[in-house]
Structure 1
Amino acid sequence: MKTRTWTPPPAYDLGRTLGVLARGPGDPAFRPGRDGSVWRASRTPEGPGTLHVTDHGGRIHAEAWGPGAEWLLDTLPTLLGATDDPGAFTPRHRLVHEAHRRNPGLRLARTGLVLESLIPSVLEQKVTSDEAYRAWRILLQQHGEPAPGPDPRMRVMPSAQAWAMIPSWDWHKAGVDGKRSATIVRAARVAARLEEAAAMDAARASARLQAVPGIGPWTAAETLQRSNGAPDAVTVGDLHLPKIVGYALTGTRGTDDETMLDLLTPYEGQRHRACRLILLSGVTPPRRAPRYSVNDIRAL
């Protein structure tokens, strides 16, 4: 085990910052501790590693295990938002101002790992969150590997080569249709090129990801928000986000992508951060219709 300490900015919020990296409850690669700490299992450029991060009264203490331990500790400040610049954000709506005031410790995490964020984002295309989270759990349990360190429940996601070798029947048992599985396989085959996007500006990184058939603006934005900590990577093509943003900022229902982008114009360069704060406000339109239905392709 290796360790490192880091002093974050005042009022730092570890849970809010790293919470977006979890892929639902029961994520084998992410576990919140009862003491407010966070456990993460990652496949780093140096190999598998597990990171345990704890906030000790304004001092971040990190422990790491495995071949990737040194890489995880070297990149710890960046992961925790040290390169993020929340001072570049100015609230323009009362609701956003209040959410900003209530969440002073929010930082945009930056993992520096593209495939780690890309694959679960592809799994979330056109299905419910529960379906995607279930698929992620099954695939990591079956094709990942035990994470280094003391927690036997944690798993490291498969290597790029292993993703590309998953047989069709295992995708099917995980509830992943052929379109999404084919996209993941194509991405895994060019993983080295995609990982270069972690060091690119947002526009070039998005173009690099979208060069892979099956990856569009929605998936690229969801990936870069996490891998690059991109403050302006606003998610378009989402079923719920435009409606939430429109209702929170104007009180009207049924907002589409175009109107959402118009509403977010005052936050140009910081639109993803604005959306994070709007979501944290908890203001959502009341439901009038059933939730998006769950489909089980295993029964087909």
Structure 2
Amino acid sequence: MTGLLEQGNIEQLRAAVAGRDARFDGWVFLAVTSTRIYCRPSCPAVKPKPEHMRFYASPAAAQEAGYRACKRCRPDAAPGSPEWDYRTDVCARAMRLIGEGVVDRDGAAGLARRLGYSLRQLERLLIAEVGAGPAALARAGRAHTARTLIESTDLEMGRIAFAAGFASIRAFNRVVADVFACSPTTLRHKAARRKGANTETSAGGAIVLRLAYREPFEASNLFGHFAAAAARGVEEWADGAYRRTLRLPHGPGTAALKPGPGYIECRLRLADLRDVTAAVARCRRALDLDADPVAAQQTLEADPLLGPLARKTPGRRVPRKADGEEYALRAVIGQQVSTAAAATIATRLSEKYGEAVDDPEGGLTRLFPTSAALAEADPDDLPMPNRRKATVLALAGALAEGRVDVGPGADWEAARAQLVAVPGVGPWTIEMIAMRALGDPDAFPVADLGVIRGAKALGLPASPKALAARAEAWRPWRSYAVQYLWAASEHPTNRIPDDNEGMMVQ
């Protein structure tokens, strides 16, 4: 795939446009030469002639070619390409880091250093893959963030320009005009008049927006996991939403995520508005919103025993964490204990070592402790057996020193090798971290008790060796198979709780 997609894909893509197939949204972007506008393939506003169609792999590539974003389908708000979540090569890792705002904070050279490449090498790879270098990709991201803030807050334009990462008001005005073909003020006025917009007006200092995803979408296991495993003060289930604190580059924040009809409502409160990009990226990642559910579904439905359950509730996502290091530590904390017991331990550690936060809307009081803070913790403060204490301290130290990387830019196989070197981190923990922190779609904790129980309930092999052999047919989607195996047995993680249940499981 290149920035301008190759001829071999064109007929399939033209058919997607003719059928307004939303499955292609975010994977590819349609540009129309006669109007100089780029759209989602599903855009209802365009019926271009085939000779006027061009297809690009990213909004940045279309913008670099001189096209502006469609005002009807809002292509920059489409779900992200699953390519960047399903791969671990340098381009995918770079795209995940760019999505987190790394270029805005550290520059393109800083991104290249984090990936171990020269800037020239990285630019060449990204241009070949998505049609734009890191600076252009970050510019497209800044434009999207700016539009989100223009339409969902009443902030002054100068503050929005700063929050979105622009170096000056002039650059902010120029990019908004180039990408959206109108001034920031006009964009705000049009949003105020538009009905059915995918953002809502801010209230009381919060930023409220809607996060898109690809259908089908099954919310039960996502929000069931979050509620059942919530560490009190760090997370809560309240008013039908999963709420949690966020440790962000410029300060703390809180997010409330609530399933809605065709979207996730996301309500953010941030200490520093420069963290909008990172906060949204982490919320999307936690809910696996950029997944391609159809690809996994087709593979899992082919299994005669797993297939009926997959067909019954299509579109399950992998419940992840907004912070990879937090999940890695909590995976160790949760070794050989129940979900509720692990949440209790995480609560105690957060109360002791987590930083305080202010939450005017609910009961969030703490950030989960940093790796550095836990690495220095008194072993007597860790309410767990001595061997697990040693593992928590060893992993926290390795994370704090950079000897283990489980962030969005991590190489999955390298991370697995790094985790193996930590005493007490075994195969179950590594695969759970790979699935829920790294985002590997093919992780498979075959010895997990819930996986084994689900396999027995479905009539699948229950021994790890036999089940692993059977699971070869589920590659490369075994992380999604795990969600169905977990759902085959009764557990609070399998359903969205009511508010009373949410309070109890905390």
TM category (shorter chain) comes to: 0.7 to 0.9
Equivalent residue number for residue 58 of structure 1: 262
Q: Name the aligned partner's letter for residue 86 of structure 1.
A: P
Residue 95 of structure 1: how far off its partner (Å): 4.1
Alignment pair present for 1:186 and 2:394: yes
Relative distance call for 1:154 and 1:259 in structure 2 (3 A) is farther
Q: Name the aligned partner's letter for residue 229 of structure 1.
A: G
Relative distance call for 1:75 and 1:42 in structure 2 (3 A) is closer
Relative distance call for 1:183 and 1:283 in structure 2 (3 A) is closer
Match of 2:375 among 132, 156, 164: 164
Alignment pair present for 1:229 and 2:439: yes
Residue 140 of structure 1: how far off its partner (Å): 1.6
Match of 1:40 among 235, 244, 269: 244
Contact residue 40 and residue 50 of structure 1 kept, 8 A: yes
Equivalent residue number for residue 344 of structure 2: 134
Residue 9 of structure 1: how far off its partner (Å): 2.2
Relative distance call for 1:20 and 1:232 in structure 2 (3 A) is farther
Instruction: Give matches, 1:16-95, under 5 Å.
Output: 16-22=221-227, 24=229, 27-35=232-240, 37-67=241-271, 69-70=275-276, 71-89=278-296, 90=299, 91-95=301-305
Distance 1:20 1:201 in 2: 26
Match of 1:275 among 473, 477, 482: 482
Contact residue 17 and residue 109 of structure 1 kept, 8 A: yes
Relative distance call for 1:106 and 1:238 in structure 2 (3 A) is closer
Task: Deviation per CA, 1:12-60: give whole Å up to 9, x if none.
Answer: 334433443456366432222333x221223344443211122342233
Alignment pair present for 1:146 and 2:350: no
Q: RMSD of aligned C-alpha atoms?
A: 2.8
TM-score normalised over the length of structure 1: 0.79
Equivalent residue number for residue 81 of structure 2: none
Relative distance call for 1:38 and 1:196 in structure 2 (3 A) is closer
Residue 121 of structure 1: how far off its partner (Å): 0.8
Relative distance call for 1:243 and 1:18 in structure 2 (3 A) is closer
Decide which structure has the larger Cα Rg and report it.
Answer: 2
Relative distance call for 1:196 and 1:135 in structure 2 (3 A) is closer
2:359 alignment partner, SS class: coil
Distance 1:44 1:213 in 2: 29
Residue 199 of structure 1: how far off its partner (Å): 2.5
Distance 2:234 2:464 in 1: 32
Residue 213 of structure 1: how far off its partner (Å): 1.8
Distance 2:386 2:466 in 1: 33
Contact residue 111 and residue 228 of structure 1 kept, 8 A: no
Q: Name the aligned partner's letter for residue 50 of structure 1.
A: T
Identity of aligned residues (%): 23
Q: Name the aligned partner's letter for residue 235 of structure 2.
A: F
TM-score normalised over the length of structure 2: 0.49
1:84 alignment partner, SS class: coil
Equivalent residue number for residue 214 of structure 2: 9
Contact residue 283 and residue 322 of structure 2 kept, 8 A: no
Relative distance call for 1:233 and 1:44 in structure 2 (3 A) is farther
Relative distance call for 1:15 and 1:154 in structure 2 (3 A) is farther
Contact residue 210 and residue 265 of structure 2 kept, 8 A: yes
Which stretches in structure 1 are left out of the alignment for 5+ residues?
285-300
Alignment pair present for 1:202 and 2:409: no
Contact residue 202 and residue 233 of structure 1 kept, 8 A: no
2:448 alignment partner, SS class: coil
1:107 alignment partner, SS class: coil
1:190 alignment partner, SS class: helix
Distance 2:232 2:435 in 1: 19
Q: Name the aligned partner's letter for residue 182 of structure 1.
A: A
Instruction: Report which stretch shifted further, 107-116 or 272-281.
Output: 107-116
Residue 109 of structure 1: how far off its partner (Å): 4.3
1:265 alignment partner, SS class: helix
Residue 261 of structure 1: how far off its partner (Å): 0.5
Equivalent residue number for residue 323 of structure 2: 113
Contact residue 234 and residue 275 of structure 1 kept, 8 A: yes
Q: Which has the higher contact order (CA 8 A, sep 6+)?
A: 1
Distance 1:4 1:183 in 2: 39
2:236 alignment partner, SS class: strand
Residue 118 of structure 1: how far off its partner (Å): 0.9
Match of 2:424 among 209, 214, 218: 214
